[in-house]
Amino acid sequence: MNPQSALIVLGAGGHAAVVAEAIVLSGARLAGHLAPAAGTDAHLLGPWLGDDAGAADLVAQGFGLVPGMGFVDGQGAARRGAWLAGLPQAGLCSVIHPRAVLSPSARIGAGGFLAAGAVLGSRSTAGPGLILNSGAIVDHDCHLGANCHVATGARVAGGVEIGDDVLIGAGATIRQGLRIGKGAVVGAGAVVLRDVAPAATVVGIPARQIERGCA
């Protein structure tokens, strides 16, 4: 396989499987997975190539790297952000599922992923490491920081500013023109009608702030 046109998924869990399938469906070439050996008993579309320690050498050979680690809470966001920062940045590649929509005027940073049914609207931007998951919609003129996860079926209306390391939970709705602070978590199904402070967790309809770890 010519490494100049082949991608390696970093991870071997559920999100990594979604990313790997998107690579194949998009017509790109999947070289395999980098992941701890403990995770290699899962069904993988490509061969296991070792752990992340070999990432820099593979980038030097011309392979591209695609992050395959997701997160579902604030602690996970922080871990993923630190992990992304430690990767060879020049080798990070983005993957767009063929059934996703990336506006011609939208821009995403390195290592981003748009899953099936995801939409990133006109003039919107996202920093490195974006996860725009299945069926999630980010409308026009939104700006997302690094390492943001907009989970399955979430809706972000136009003109929303979202900081780094933010989780927008599955099925959540964000009203137009709001600001979501760095490290915030919006719970699944929440309806956000006002700004969310950095590192805050909000849940419910309408969304209200709670202490992390509380229901």
Question: pTM for this one?
Answer: 0.92
- What integer is the mean pLDDT of 128-154? 98
Percentage of the chain beyond pLDDT 70 is 93
Domain's final residue, options 28, 49, 69: 69
CATH number reported for the structural domain that contains residue 191 in this entry? 2.160.10.10
61 and 89 housed in the same domain: no
Count the domains in the chain.
Answer: 2
pLDDT at 125 over 70: yes
pLDDT at 45 over 90: no
Element (H, E) at 65: strand 64-67
110 and 173 housed in the same domain: yes
pLDDT confidence of 46, banded at 50, 70, 90?
A: confident
Give me the pLDDT at residue 169, please. 98
What is the distance of C-alpha 105 from the center of its chain?
19
Element (H, E) at 2: none
138 and 84 housed in the same domain: yes
- What integer is the mean pLDDT of 159-184? 98
49 and 146 housed in the same domain: no
The number of beta carbons lying within 10 Å of the beta carbon of residue 100 is 21
101 and 51 housed in the same domain: no
- What integer is the mean pLDDT of 24-45? 82
100 and 189 housed in the same domain: yes
In a domain, 74, yes or no: no
pLDDT at 13 over 80: yes
123 and 185 housed in the same domain: yes
Give me the pLDDT at residue 2, please. 45
Range of the domain at 65: 3-69
pLDDT at 215 over 50: no
Give me the pLDDT at residue 53, please. 83
CATH number reported for the structural domain that contains residue 62 in this entry? 3.40.50.20
55 and 88 housed in the same domain: no
Q: Residue 160, class by beta-carbon neighbours within 10 Å (0-12 exposed, 13-18 middle, 19+ buried)?
A: buried
Runs of H (alpha helix) within the chain: 14-25, 55-60, 74-85
Q: Which two tokens stand for residue 59?
A: 């980038």
